[in-house]
């Protein structure tokens, strides 16, 4: 008799099979007169990309769990099928691909009706796909698509003996600012094995926000120990961050390729600049994104400047978003003056001629990074 974990897996598989019954039915209605297994896979991937991604991620997750069991000297428990094999082994699909299934489809095929269904279905599905993609894009707006160099130090600090719940929350809050394979793997492990309810739910929600396949691990049974139910509101200030930096906390481990100096009026452009930098494997620092847990606008003080000095020291270069507002900003002047004293490179992008705070073409660059960093910043407008 299969174990409890295997029964849960089988139950989840049955629920997923049920969930995609209707998508499969709709795919069947738009198939041409002649089809094969490759065409079925192609149609499903095109019209149901999110479901296909879930199938791939689900396979990868349980494949790795099986590999872990083997490393521990145990037998494989799940033996999942990859996305393609899973789809083609579903009873409905096997029926379509049988000789009888193909003959039945061919005998009942109506080209005009199939074309009508296809056009209607395509319009509806593309609208839903775009809506879902827009939702994920919005969720990822404050997340950098890059793996910071200090990720290993943060994960190692999380596993140190004696670390407090507040310390764990601090590390999780730092890592949810990034999206990378290693970080997502770390969050999957937290969702599976972390016994503190607050942190396990934080990991689950972050993966869910990114559109990843994830199931929330239920609370652990048995007598609850204090560390399992302990919570931290993590209500921090600039002083708290400075104290962490002064005490050689993990905050001292950070390194940034680019410090973005800008006026808050140009806030909308910052996200586009960061995405462009990430595409070229550069990690950016922006105070209201990178230190949003600590540097609250209503709590600005001398400690804020002390923290920013440290972040400037941790950055390899400074990129100014040059506009009338930024050139008249006291904070921008402070950042430029201090970075100049560090004798590290300063670059800028001119924004004055950008309508509606958008970069309209590649030609809006006033200064390029040198070869050590990058040959050219590729920053597109939302219309490109």
Phi/psi class of residue 79: alpha, beta or left (left: φ > 0; alpha: ψ in -120 to 50)? Answer: left
pLDDT in tens, 77-117: 999 999 999 999 999 999 999 999 999 999 999 999 999 99
How many Cα atoms occupy the beta-carbon half-sphere of 253 within 13 Å? 14
pLDDT score, position 226: 65
pLDDT in tens, 182-220: 999 999 999 988 989 999 999 999 999 999 988 877 776
The rounded distance, in Å, linking the Cα atoms of 287 and 299 is 13
Per-residue pLDDT band at 290 (split at 50, 70, 90): very high
Residues 6+ apart with CB under 8 A from 17: 90
Average pLDDT over residues 305-333: 91
Task: Name all domains of the chain by residue range, CATH numbers in brackets.
Answer: 4-139 (no CATH), 151-229 (no CATH), 238-364 (3.40.50.10140)
How many Cα atoms occupy the beta-carbon half-sphere of 145 within 13 Å? 16
Average pLDDT over residues 49-75: 93
pLDDT score, position 2: 57
Residue in 51, 57, 174, 335 annotated catalytic: 335
pLDDT in tens, 117-155: 999 999 999 999 999 999 998 888 899 999 998 999 999
8-state DSSP, 178: B
Of the candidates 315, 313, 319, the one whose C-alpha atom is nearest the C-alpha of residue 269 is 319
Q: Are 242 and 303 in contact (CB under 8 A)?
A: yes
Q: Which residue has the higher pLDDT, 308 or 380?
A: 308
Q: Are 377 and 368 in contact (CB under 8 A)?
A: yes
Known active-site residue 335: yes
Q: Which residue has the higher pLDDT, 209 or 365?
A: 209
**What are 16's two structure tokens?**
């997923």
8-state DSSP, 57: H
* Arithmetic mean of pLDDT over the chain: 86
pLDDT of residue 165 exceeding 50 = yes
The rounded distance, in Å, linking the Cα atoms of 218 and 239 is 37
pLDDT in tens, 10-20: 888 898 999 99
pLDDT of residue 67 exceeding 60 = yes
pLDDT in tens, 338-350: 998 998 888 888 7
Torsion of Cα atoms, 336 then 341 then 347 then 349, to 10°: 10
Run of H or E including 103: helix 99-107
Per-residue pLDDT band at 370 (split at 50, 70, 90): very low
pLDDT of residue 228 exceeding 50 = yes
């Amino acid at each position: 008799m299969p174990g409890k974990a295997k029964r849960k897996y089988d139950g989840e598989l049955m629920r997923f099979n049920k969930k995609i019954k209707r998508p499969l039915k709709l795919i069947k209605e738009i198939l041409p007169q002649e089809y094969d297994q490759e065409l079925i896979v192609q149609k499903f991937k095109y019209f149901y990309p999110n479901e296909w991604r879930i199938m791939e991620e689900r396979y990868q997750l349980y494949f790795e769990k099986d590999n872990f069991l083997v490393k521990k000297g145990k037998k494989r428990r799940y033996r999942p099928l990859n996305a393609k094999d899973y789809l083609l082994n579903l009873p409905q699909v096997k029926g379509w691909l049988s000789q009888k299934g193909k003959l039945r489809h061919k005998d009942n095929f109506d080209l005009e009706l199939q074309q009508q269904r296809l056009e209607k279905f395509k319009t509806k599905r593309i609208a839903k796909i775009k809506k879902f993609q827009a939702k994920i894009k919005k969720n990822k707006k404050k997340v950098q698509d890059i793996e910071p160099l200090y990720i290993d130090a943060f994960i190692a600090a999380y596993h140190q003996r004696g670390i407090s719940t507040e310390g764990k929350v601090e590390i999780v809050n730092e890592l949810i600012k990034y999206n990378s394979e290693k970080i997502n793997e770390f969050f999957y492990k937290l969702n599976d094995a972390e016994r503190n309810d607050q942190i396990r739910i934080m990991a689950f929600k972050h993966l869910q926000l990114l559109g990843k396949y994830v199931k929330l691990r239920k609370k652990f049974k048995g007598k609850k120990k204090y560390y399992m139910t302990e919570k931290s509101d993590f209500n921090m200030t600039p002083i708290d961050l400075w104290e962490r930096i002064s005490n050689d906390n993990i905050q001292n481990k950070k390194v940034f390729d680019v410090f973005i100096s800008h006026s808050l009026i140009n806030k909308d452009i910052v996200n586009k600049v960061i995405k462009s930098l990430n595409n070229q494997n550069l990690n950016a620092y922006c105070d209201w994104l990178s230190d949003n847990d600590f540097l609250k606008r209503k709590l600005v003080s001398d400690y804020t400047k002390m923290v920013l000095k440290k972040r400037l020291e941790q950055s390899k270069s400074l990129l100014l978003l040059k506009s009338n507002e930024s050139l008249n900003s006291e904070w921008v002047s402070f950042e430029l003056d201090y970075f100049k004293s560090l004798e590290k490179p300063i670059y800028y992008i001119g924004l004055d001629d950008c309508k509606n705070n958008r970069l309209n073409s590649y030609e809006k660059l006033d200064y390029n990074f040198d070869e050590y960093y990058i040959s050219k910043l590729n920053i597109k407008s939302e219309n490109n």
